[in-house]
Structure 1
């Protein structure tokens, strides 16, 4: 019987009973490291990266992970979960869009969720089926739902209400900072310095320790008050191709964007010549200069343009934690 590369990797992980590094996978399967990397792309659903050069089976690492979601008033009123938030990607484990999700409360009562599209009365896509649960537990605005994975193969999760006053704000704030730092590092290693939420979550959900009983807040809630980030549904972000990002949620690193007079955020492209690194506007292709107190702006004179090389400070000035409006 001939096995595919993925089947060989899966077999090695199953037989080992725990995670393996890419070198160990190569030794056990006789596949070259390059072949393994080609197989285990971001789109791979069953074998996931859980750390530097380390992989495991999704079903094995997902069990017990706990995620926090603070529902909007409309979600509580309608008994739904919006699929336009990060919690949806947690429940489907990123790419399993056909998944049939079932939630279980503390009394082991099941709540199967049904996928719904936008309608005239509700301008968002959502999962329905939680009306009875919200009523049963007297859910209020600003309360949280904690989802703990029972079995990702069947997409079953335990859920419980956490009242606002029961939140350990000190610990949650620390978890939020840790998640924000991880997200920053992930985006900083991408060429465009921006990432769609679907791929972003896929890159950190198996790396961040969500098995802790006190998880961080949802992604947007974590990043919305952090100066280092731009979020496309809050900020007027543009892509490198000059189009306003509207159709899908994208997170970008603020320091790689120039804000123009219209309050649009335009990507700055970093280039290098024999004298150093410099930036230019992705919309007009003109040189721009970076200053620590105001960020990027267009150069006004030939002298300023000649002196517009990026100081080393730019690449280390990412420690501020409070969002600027």
Structure 2
């Protein structure tokens, strides 16, 4: 049974990280893909954001399964807008689904517990064998669990009775500190959904590298997310795991102005029980060249997995030997995410 459901964005770095995974790893995970976000400037021609959605994902995933979350498409627009209609009269949910169906992709459509009726109806009209429902537990207190459960049953589950899908219930605690009791209560509550499988999604990875000093490779956080999951798994049989890899937040907008030379090259490196960060000096202070030294420190450390462990580890080794220059911020994200998924998948296969 697949145990690991990493959250990924449809960005160049994170999709390259997935694309360079070992084939066996791809077959042992089901990523939760968050939609590309439509910019305010492109709202009137929003469909252009998804011109190559089907073919692009087809090239990355081929026959491998993934959960597709449409909600993030609306993040920049302020509301989930039913009036966003393409030239053929399709709303955004239907438009993106058609793109993926045209490529025969093995995707599981994802609803949220508070998705509006038109959104729910559009997803259920696909009549897929599997359905995902994301419960953003980080947005409400446990006193609302039962109310939300009843709403999900009424607004989603009862409407799907005609084709009775298997339901992946994603309990998303994101990076909000919480207790084992809080999570355990949520698992018990939402397990009442028929034909359901519970996925616990959370992360303890820092949002950025601000706590790491220049020219260091140090531990920045313990992997209490995975530890908490393992403790809960002893109580809740069949529980599955999801995290945000080492990329808690989406990449900055392309139009965002960043003072490149006053930034650092940094990489998040996951170990069996911690999150570490390697960080260069400022780029204006020979940061690109000095990042070779950071990669050498990683390679020489006891926590390095070896150059054959993952594509990310291979790139770190090549950088340590000055065979590869890492000069932008996208590549370290790619290598760090790739290593994290390989390691976490390996940990589950070992258990």
Fold conserved (TM > 0.5)?
A: no
Larger-Rg structure: 1
Structure with the higher fraction of residues in helix conformation: 2
Point out which structure has higher relative CO (alpha carbons under 8 A, 6+ apart). 2
Structure with the higher fraction of residues in strand conformation: 1
What is the TM-score when the length of structure 2 is the normalising length? 0.27
